[in-house]
Amino acid sequence: MASHRKSRTPGTRVAGIRTPALATAALTSVALLSQTANASPGEDRPSLEEVEKKVGDLYRQAESATEKYNAAKEKTTKQRKRVDTLLDDVAKRTQKLNDARSELGSYAAAQYRTGAGMPDTATFLLAETPQDIFDQRQVLDRMTGRQKAAVDDYVTQQTETMKKRQEATESLRTLTETQGDLKTAKATVQKKLADARELLSKLTAEEKARLAAIEKRKQEEAARKAAELARQQAEQEQAREEAAQQGGGASEGSGSTGSAETPPADSSYGTKAEKALAFARAQIGKPYVWGATGPGSYDCSGLTQAAWKAAGVSLPRTTYDQVNAGTTVPVSQAQPGDLVFFYDDVTHVGIYIGNGNGMMIHAPKPGTYVREESIYYDGDSAIHSIVRPA
């Protein structure tokens, strides 16, 4: 009787051991299952490089929104003060108007008691607008000097009060708009940071380690570039000293000191820069908090503003304004205390340390602390400009 059992494929199993081909297939299946388990159903898991880029973009977008928040907050604060001042002024002028109305009313009552027809003074009290009053000027011809003075005072107070009320109304409208901008910017910052945290939370321990390794390599490359910049600056300084010793000074055409548009910083600037840097160094280790201006935490522009304030120099609040608060110089001519701005939208800033190391002090991003770092921390192309603020 013929057996119906299927014959075993030759080479499939030898002494219970799978062939290399099947073992490889099994391992591949396990790997695929593992990847599927780590990924959400129906989700294409991004590569580590994609996650790194996306997180970096989200942080930069959050920083951009932070600067918009800072600008809106500053504008809101100023506008609120203006509204308060106008409302106080309106209250004072309303009181003066009421006093003028009372005096005018006393004349109207006196005219009524004497049996006069239509009280001339009352005509002005019945007027609803300044134009109504000016249209009744002929009535003044029948008034005494004191009545005319009372009418003039009433007209002046009513006109000024209405003007201030209109200004207050417009200022309140502007305040409402700036508060809306503030709320929008705040929501944007929070959303971008939440998205970044969510992306990072999906990484495995191995992926986080690899991400840290990538960041370390970037820092090493940034440090190398910073050292190269420091070497170039040292050579320029040596060239200037040699030219001075030869009696020729630093010639304009030597290329070592820059053009007349970007002169080297003077001694007074150096003194201020030392104070600014001393303050910045004292903040190292304090957390980055968006919108913060100290003393316990800072964002990037909050730190630079506070540092230069310690040196007696008033800088604007935002990076957008700080970049215009001084003289722009080439990177090769950066000196201690200069502000280093980053990205095309000018959304980050640090304080250059120089002195042979090409480093800066800055408040980098959420989750980090004020620290020293290469000005090339995000690559050459990230540097927007160098500005000497005083």
Marked catalytic residue, from 272, 362, 371, 388: 362
Place of tokens 């800066």: 360
Known catalytic membership, residue 362: yes
Known catalytic membership, residue 191: no
Marked catalytic residue, from 60, 68, 348, 365: 348
Marked catalytic residue, from 300, 307, 349, 351: 300
DSSP code for 288: B
- Amino acid in position 145: G
Those residues with Cβ within 8 angstroms of residue 125's Cβ, 6 or more apart along the chain or in another chain: 101, 104, 105, 108
201: tokens are 């939370």
Known catalytic membership, residue 300: yes
Report how far residue 157's alpha carbon sits from residue 161's, in angstroms, rounded to the nearest whole number.
6
Those residues with Cβ within 8 angstroms of residue 269's Cβ, 6 or more apart along the chain or in another chain: 335, 337, 388, 390
Report how far residue 136's alpha carbon sits from residue 139's, in angstroms, rounded to the nearest whole number.
6
Report how far residue 363's alpha carbon sits from residue 369's, in angstroms, rounded to the nearest whole number.
6
240 touches 256 (CB < 8 A): yes
CA-atom Rg of the chain in angstroms: 37
| 3-class state of residue 214 by DSSP | helix
Would you please indicate which residues are annotated as catalytic (active-site) residues?
300, 348, 362
